[in-house]
Amino acid sequence: MLTLSHVCKRYPGGIEALRDVSLAIERGQLVLVEGDSGAGKSTLLRLLGAIELPSSGSVLVDGQNTRALGRRALAALRRQFGVIFQDQKLLFDRSAFENVMLPLDIGGFERREAQRRARAALDKVGLLHKEKALPVALSGGEQQRLCIARAIVHRPRVIVADEPTGNLDETHAQRVLEMLDSFNALGVTMIVSTHDRMARERLDGRRIRLQAGTLSEASAAVA
C-alpha cells in the first residue's frame, strides 16, 4: 500500500535527511518509527504522508508515485491521510470545533454532515464539551487530543502521527496512545514516530529504526 524505494531526501544547504530508504507498509499495519532526534523520522513521515516529495527514489501510495502527481492529484492524495503534526499546527484564532471542521471543509463535505462528524470526532477524544473553546484555553493534552480529532474526522485510511506524545505528561500520553491503538484496531494504518519510551512499550506493532537517515532495522524492506 505504501512503498518507499531507494528514497533520498536532501534539503537546501546539503543536509541529507534520508539516505537510500526502502520500505513497504501494508494496509492496517501499525508501524512505529523509532530513532533519536535528527534521525529523519519526521522527514520519513512527511514523505509517507505526501507532504514532501523525495529528492530521489520513489514513494508509492496505492501504486501512485507522489513525484509524478500534479498539484491537484497530490492534494487529493493528502486528503486520504490524517496527520498529527509534531508542532500540532492548531489554528489559534479558531475554536476547537472550527479546527476540526477544516479537513471536512477541504473535503467538500455537506455542512450538516460535516458538523455531525466534527462533533463525533470531538466526542471521541473527549472534547465535545469544549467545542467552542479556543486552543489557547485548552491544556497541552487537550490540544494534542484536538489534533487527533482533526486527523481522524474525515476517516482517513492512514494516520501519520509525528511524536504524538511529545511534551505530554504520562497520564495524557497514555490516553493518546490508547486512542491511536483503538484506531488501528478499526483497520486504520498507523505510522507513528516517537522517541518516547512509554510509547514504544505501549504500542504493539512493527518497529523500524532510523539512524542518521538510514533505515537500520526494518522487518519488511523492499529491494
Partner 1 sequence: MKAWLLAHLRAFSDAWRRLAAQPLAAGLSVLVIGIALTLPLALAQMLVQTQRFAERFTGSPQVSLFLAMDVAADQRQALETALRAHPGAKSVRFVGRDAALADLAKSAGLGDVAQALPANPLPDAFVVDVRGTSAATLEQLRRDAAALPGVEHVQSDHEWARRLDALVSLARSAVLAVAVLLAAGLVAITFNTIRLQILGRRAEIELAQLIGATDGFVRRPFVYFGLLQGLLGALVAWILVAAIAAALDRELAVLNRLYGSALHFGLPAPLTVAGLSGLCALLGALGAALSVQDYLRRGLSK
- Binding positions for partner 1, 91-130, rule CB under 8 A: 91, 94, 102-103, 105-108, 110-111
Regarding 85 and contact with partner 1 (CB under 8 A), the answer is yes
Q: Look up cell 486528503; give the residue.
A: 79
Q: Contact, 19 vs 214, CB < 8 A?
A: yes
Among 6, 10, 19, 78, binds partner 1 (CB under 8 A): 78
User: Which residues are CB-contacts of 30 (< 8 A; sequence separation ≥ 6)?
Assistant: 181, 184, 189, 190, 192, 203, 204, 205, 206
Task: Tell me the closest approach of the beta carbon of residue 53 to partner 1, in angstroms.
Answer: 6
Task: Tell me the closest approach of the beta carbon of residue 92 to partner 1, in angstroms.
Answer: 8
Reduced to 3 states, what is the DSSP secondary structure of residue 117? helix
> What number of chain residues touch partner 1 (CB under 8 A)?
26
Regarding 89 and contact with partner 1 (CB under 8 A), the answer is yes
In which element (H, E) is residue 102 found? helix 96-107
- Determine the Cα–Cα distance for residues 135 and 220; give it in Å rounded to an integer: 39
Task: Tell me the closest approach of the beta carbon of residue 198 to partner 1, in angstroms.
Answer: 27
DSSP 27-90: TT-EEEEE--TTSSHHHHHHHHTTSS--SEEEEEETTEEGGG--HHHHHHHHTTEEEE-TT---
Regarding 10 and contact with partner 1 (CB under 8 A), the answer is no
Stretch that binds partner 1, among 19-27, 30-38, 83-91, 197-205 (CB under 8 A): 83-91
Encoded one letter per residue, x for contact with partner 1 by CB under 8 A and - for no contact, window 41-70 reads ----------x-x---------------x-
Regarding 132 and contact with partner 1 (CB under 8 A), the answer is no
Contacts with partner 1 by CB under 8 A lie at 51, 53, 69, 71-72, 74-81, 83, 85, 89, 91, 94, 102-103, 105-108, 110-111
